[in-house]
Copies of this chain bind each other. A is one copy, B any other.
Amino acid sequence: MLETEFFNRAGPFELARVVEAVGGVVEGAVPAGHMIFGVAPLDSAGPEEVSFLDNKKYLSAFEVSGAGACFVEADLASRAPEGMVAIVCEQPYMALALAMRLFYPGSPPEPLISPAAHVDPGANVPATCRIEAGAVLEAGVRLGERCHVEPGAVLSANVVLGDDCHVGPQASLMCSVVGNRVWIDAGARIGTQGFGFAVGPKGAVRIPHTGRVLIADDVEIGANTTIDRGSVGDTTIGQGTMIDNQVQIAHNVTIGRGCILAGQVGLAGSSEIGDFAMLGGKSGVVNHVKVGAGAKLGALSGAAFDLEPGQTYLGQPAVLIRDFWRQQAAMRRLMKQGKGS
């Protein structure tokens, strides 16, 4: 129960209410009066908690779990132990998400401008915003309603945020225009100058970067991620794109809508990522390379050439996934030959 130190939990709720919230199905009637106080992992959940089985790796933990109820796919429901109500869901992980939102509905920040914040008189901060200690808002900054700027964050001159944005501790933004409901996590660097210079006989000549970073609605940006502004033209990130921690996005990159970028991805200058593309952890895209809409690039892989829409790629340089596994199989055959000879 220690987690209640950090978050306020709603509830308890009748089990039937939880089942309804996630759109699940229970065989027979949902037992009335079964109160659920929260969500817990399979190995620690008790009779008044709901759990989830979203990965067969945890099937044995499921079979002995003390959870009072559990989100589970239809074909595994019969493996539920005595005393557990199996809540059949098409996507147990989505059910988890919906249940967590029931117990932790969130709320807008309590309005405040901390006396220890440094807000320039020329910044425009609606009365519904919360600005914490040590935050710096320079002249010309414009915030939408209900923005929350956490301790030590820095918004440089003229940065624009839409409504309901969150800026984590010590994140910094400059030269950026941000939409609504954007989450920027701790230590993210948005709008820094790009790594752009021309190399001539007298050495490198730096290119002034005078573009911006444009971030659409509903984007998430992870902790210590860096997004450089454009040199000439802008760096743009489309609606609903999710970006994990320590991702590096160079100047003049274009990212479409609904993309998913896992941790430590790197996108070189002027690369283009199509809508709903997925980039695995530590993968990279070379400058000026295009990743097609809906394409997937595996972890630790590198796109040195354009990727076709909807295809899945692996390896460095990245090849179609079936070719990658063929390469691996060929390598294994080759090794056996090597042993034989």
Contact = CB atoms under 8 A, between A and B. Distances in A.
Interface stretch (A27-35, A78-86, A226-234): A226-234
- Secondary structure dominating the interface of A: loop
Given A169-B174, A195-B245, A263-B248, A212 B6 contact: yes
Nearest to A228: B245
A169 B172 contact: yes
A75 interface: no
Contacts of A104: 208, 210
Interface in A162-210: 168-170, 172, 174-175, 177, 185-187, 189, 192-193, 195, 197-200, 203-208, 210
B281 A266 contact: yes
Interface in A302-316: 302, 304, 315-316
A48 interface: no
Given A172-B187, A264-B266, A284-B300, A208 B101 contact: yes
23 contacts: A2-B212, A5-B140, A40-B233, A94-B198, A100-B208, A100-B210, A104-B210, A116-B136, A136-B151, A151-B172, A187-B224, A195-B263, A204-B240, A204-B260, A248-B263, A266-B281, A268-B281, A282-B302, A299-B304, A300-B300, A317-B328, A326-B335, A327-B331
A73 interface: no
A118 interface: yes
| 4 interchain residue pairs of minimum CB distance | A94-B198, A104-B208, A118-B133, A169-B172
B317 A316 contact: no
Given A94-B205, A151-B138, A152-B170, A195 B118 contact: no
A75 to B, nearest CB: 19
Interface residues of A, number: 115
B328 A335 contact: no
A93 interface: yes
A147 B226 CA distance: 24
A11 interface: no
A34 B199 CA distance: 29
B189 A3 contact: no
A226 to B, nearest CB: 4
Given A91-B198, A152-B152, A198-B94, A192 B212 contact: no
Contacts of A177: 2
Given A152-B154, A186-B172, A335-B326, A268 B262 contact: yes
B154 A232 contact: no
A124 interface: no
Contacts of A185: 189, 192-193
A337 B329 CA distance: 12
A134 B154 contact: yes
